[in-house]
Amino acid sequence: MTEEGGTPEALRQWRRVVVKLSGEALMGHRTHGLDAETLERLALDLVETAALGVEIAVVVGGGNFFRGIEGAEKGIERARADSIGMLATVMNALALEFAIEKLGQSARVLSAVPMPSLCQPYSRQAALHHLSKQRIVILAGGTGNPFFTTDTGAALRAAELSSDVIMKATQVDGIYSADPKIDPKATRYTKLTHDEAINKNLAVMDTAAFALARENKIPILVFSIKERGAIRAALEGKGLATLVLP
């Protein structure tokens, strides 16, 4: 993904990116909620990446507070549980916005669930405007509809915003043939196609997200978010990752 003696290939090709951050990524070593140190590290990583001239939109999950599917399993109506999960993503987005702006970088939260007293409602035009002003755009509320994951929301927003790549930040350094935490023989893929990821049922993103990315020919870069500077390193082609191509 890099070339010797010049600008990394990814930086030439990927000038507008959608970063998918799970709620779990924001809680660090805590069992729930937000970890201040982790939040600051991720904010700094986003700011340093934006300083390269990259336009960044971030789609945040809410699993550190509430996951809709888990709420449904505990007896809450699925549509209502997903609505609670959407509210959790707004909390994370507001916290991330504050952490980014503390570092001197302008940021804006746009929510697919309108709550204008807290943040701006999402629209494609508003998001593109903020990106053009070199603001980091934080997209909350998923798709604004129940029964869709924030992974699908990330793929949808990437398509709407004509993004060059979806950067899927995870707890492992790419896509494996099996869960590496369970199967020591699991092997990491360097490159895959969208069709291969779907056919092999590789669950790093849900099928709807893969299908949306495939239909719109958007690459997906899967990498570990555990280390400082992980987003910038992945974009520059450093470290381990899996690239899913059309």
Q: pLDDT digit string (tens) for 144-156?
A: 999 999 999 999 9
pLDDT at res. 199: 87
Q: For residue 40, with 0-12 CB atoms within 10 Å meaning exposed, 13-18 middle and 19 or more buried, which class applies?
A: middle
pLDDT at res. 11: 54
Three-class secondary structure of residue 242 per DSSP: strand
- Distance of alpha carbon 71 from alpha carbon 81, whole angstroms: 5
- DSSP secondary structure code for residue 122 in this structure: P
Backbone angles phi, psi at 112, to 5 degrees: -70, -20
4: pLDDT strictly greater than 50: no
Give the residues across from 56 on adjacent strands. 17
- Could you read off the pLDDT of 70-93 as tens digits, one per residue? 877 888 999 999 999 999 999 999
* Angle, CA 212 vertex, CA 15 and CA 133 arms, to 5°: 30
Q: What percent of the chain has pLDDT over 70?
A: 95
Q: Domain coordinates of the chain in residue numbers?
A: 9-245
Query: Lowest-pLDDT range, 103-117, 166-180, 199-213?
Result: 199-213
CA 218 to chain centre: 14
In total, the chain counts a number of residues equal to: 246
Closest by Cα among 91, 174, 176, 101 to 140:
91
59: pLDDT strictly greater than 60: yes
- Could you read off the pLDDT of 7-49 as tens digits, one per residue? 455 555 799 999 999 999 999 888 899 999 999 999 999 999 9
pLDDT at res. 72: 76
End-to-end CA distance of the chain: 16
Query: Lowest-pLDDT range, 92-96, 100-104, 119-123, 187-191?
Result: 187-191
Mean pLDDT score, 219-234: 94
pLDDT at res. 237: 87
CATH of domain 9-245: 3.40.1160.10
- Could you read off the pLDDT of 119-137 as tens digits, one per residue? 999 999 999 999 999 999 9
> Is-contact 3 9, C-beta < 8 A?
yes
Mean pLDDT score, 84-109: 97
Three-class secondary structure of residue 167 per DSSP: strand
- Distance of alpha carbon 20 from alpha carbon 234, whole angstroms: 13
